[in-house]
Amino acid sequence: MTSIKATSGGESAVRVRGLVKHYGSTKALDGVDLDVRQGTVLGVLGPNGAGKTTLVRVLSTLVQPDAGTAMVAGYDVLTQPRQLRRVIGLTGQYASVDEKLSGRENLYMIGRLLDLSRKDARRRAEEMLERFSLTEAAKRPAAQYSGGMRRRLDLAASMVGHPAVLYLDEPTTGLDPRTRNEVWREVRRMVGDGSTVLLTTQYMEEAEQLADELTVVDRGRVIAEGRVDELKARIGGRTLRIRPTDGHRPAEMAEALAASPVTGVGGATADVEDGTVTVPIVDDDQLTAVVRLLAERGFGIAEIGTSLPSLDEVFLAVTGQKASVPQDPRPAADNSDDLEGAAV
Ligand SMILES: Nc1ncnc2c1ncn2[C@@H]1O[C@H](COP(=O)(O)OP(=O)(O)O)[C@@H](O)[C@H]1O
Ligand SMILES: [Mg+2]
């Protein structure tokens, strides 16, 4: 297990310790620890079947854990489920919206379920419609909404009760890129308003776009955690890319580096098509050593730069497998079927 300490400081809005949930012989959660600090977004990143939805269901009091503890906004999932449900919002793989009702009716009904007076429920519904750009579509049944509108209505529904903590369970899985961007924009606004968010995702890019910190899960276990940039920097190391000046072939440069006494640069490879050499770098000393060596050997450097690995590479590094399960984005109109994973 690769463990990187999360940034210290900040109250935990969600605190999970040793959470275990088995389904028969399947260990959906196999001893999970995590913290979501107040006012931040924790990305829970993992492939299909990693245990993300089970975690969200435990934290929503929909599923009882076999062992471990979980506190949300100071309430215990096991002993204070009613109080806890009042302070959370949930949206994601299972629909929270009634297809037959209009957007307005859905939001009004949720307000009523949350014990708002008729007047307050009506006012809150209008606020949410406005906020999520659904005012024009307010009277139409949700069944007629496009995929993007549906997700916006889901987000609006989860926000009616002013939740202290919001769970977004794969909010963009199956969405086309345009709709995904739309959802990201809304989530960013919610976060900007100070929400604490636990976001599960299979997409590296999504975690990178939205999360402050990341917990990478695989088969019910936390396999890495830390700030997004830390994870990228520490696990994958950096890559140094060098473009030789005209007249110097990348292959010769790579050979010279690979054969050099500089430690750790044996992995230098030439990208002939691109005309560059890439060198895996673990520390700054290596960087200096590489540049000095090339200068000593008379190689001219036209361009040089370092880059962090992508989160896909991070996942590959820690799990030994690819994380992103390629999915065909369903056409927007088809997204009313939000129930994928709901059978759990
Ligand atoms: N109600 C259930 N009954 C049996 N197995 C389940 C149930 N819910 C989840 N699982 C299993 O637990 C594992 C984790 O599932 P899940 O939490 O849905 O993962 P994720 O949301 O990361 O895709 C999977 O192997 C899944 O098949
Ligand atoms: Mg899931």
Per-residue pLDDT tens over the stretch 181-236: 888 888 888 888 788 999 999 888 888 889 999 999 999 999 989 998 888 776 66
The residue nearest atom 5 of ligand 1, judged by CA position, is 23
State the pLDDT at residue 212: 93
Please, which residues bridge with residue 88 across strands? Answer: 165
What is the length of the chain?
344
147-180 residue pLDDT tens = 888 888 998 998 888 899 999 999 888 788 888 8
- The helix, strand and coil proportions of the chain, stated in percent and rounded to the nearest 5, come to 35, 25, 40
Kindly report, as residue ranges, where domains of CATH 3.40.50.300 are found in the chain.
12-233
pLDDT category at 323 given cuts 50, 70, 90 is low
Dump the DSSP string for 238-301. Answer: EEEEEEEPTT--HHHHHHHHHTSSSTT-TT-EEETTTTEEEEEESSHHHHHHHHHHHHHTT--E
Write down the architecture of domain 12-233 according to CATH. Answer: 3-Layer(aba) Sandwich (3.40)
Residue 46 CA, closest ligand 1 atom number = 22
CB 218 within 8 A of CB 2: no
Distance 66 CA to ligand 1 centre (A): 14
pLDDT category at 145 given cuts 50, 70, 90 is very high
State the pLDDT at residue 92: 65
Region 289-299 average pLDDT: 91
32-84 residue pLDDT tens = 999 999 999 999 999 889 999 999 999 999 999 999 999 999 999 999 999 99
State the pLDDT at residue 95: 58
State the pLDDT at residue 321: 64
Interatomic CA distance for residues 273 and 260, integer angstroms: 24
Highest mean pLDDT among 38-52, 275-289, 317-331: 38-52
Q: What is the mean pLDDT of the chain?
A: 84
% the chain with pLDDT above 90: 50
Residue 21 CA, closest ligand 1 atom number = 12
**Environment of ion ligand 2 (residues, CB < 5 A):** 52-53, 341
The residue nearest atom 16 of ligand 1, judged by CA position, is 51
Interatomic CA distance for residues 162 and 123, integer angstroms: 13
Interatomic CA distance for residues 139 and 149, integer angstroms: 13
State the pLDDT at residue 197: 95
State the pLDDT at residue 21: 98
User: Ligand 1 within 6 A of 22 CB?
Assistant: no
User: Ligand 1 within 6 A of 92 CB?
Assistant: no
Q: Which of 27, 30, 54, 56 to mutate to test the pocket of ligand 1 (most atoms within 8 A of CB)?
A: 54
Interatomic CA distance for residues 295 and 289, integer angstroms: 10
State the pLDDT at residue 251: 92
Interatomic CA distance for residues 165 and 162, integer angstroms: 9
* Cα–Cα nearest to 56, from 99, 14, 25: 14
State the pLDDT at residue 1: 42
- Is residue 333 predicted with pLDDT exceeding 50? no
* Cα–Cα nearest to 84, from 109, 64, 108: 64
The residue nearest atom 4 of ligand 1, judged by CA position, is 23
Q: Which two tokens stand for residue 147?
A: 């995929």
- Is residue 342 predicted with pLDDT exceeding 80? no
State the pLDDT at residue 242: 94
User: Ligand 1 within 6 A of 45 CB?
Assistant: no
- Is residue 339 predicted with pLDDT exceeding 60? no
Q: Which two tokens stand for residue 297?
A: 């050997």
State the pLDDT at residue 148: 84
Residue 220 CA, closest ligand 1 atom number = 14
Interatomic CA distance for residues 263 and 285, integer angstroms: 10
Of residues 294 and 248, more confidence is placed in 294
State the pLDDT at residue 147: 83
259-281 residue pLDDT tens = 888 877 778 889 888 899 998 88
Q: How many CB atoms lie within 10 A of CB 302?
A: 12
- Is residue 332 predicted with pLDDT exceeding 70? no
Distance 145 CA to ligand 1 centre (A): 29
Interatomic CA distance for residues 53 and 50, integer angstroms: 8
Q: Which CATH number fits domain 238-307: 3.40.50.150, 3.30.70.100, 3.30.360.10, 3.40.50.11810?
A: 3.30.70.100
Specify the 3-state DSSP secondary structure of 154: helix
State the pLDDT at residue 295: 92
Which of 5-9, 97-101, 188-192 is the least confident region? 5-9
Kindly report, as residue ranges, where domains of CATH 3.30.70.100 are found in the chain.
238-307
H or E stretch at 199: strand 196-201
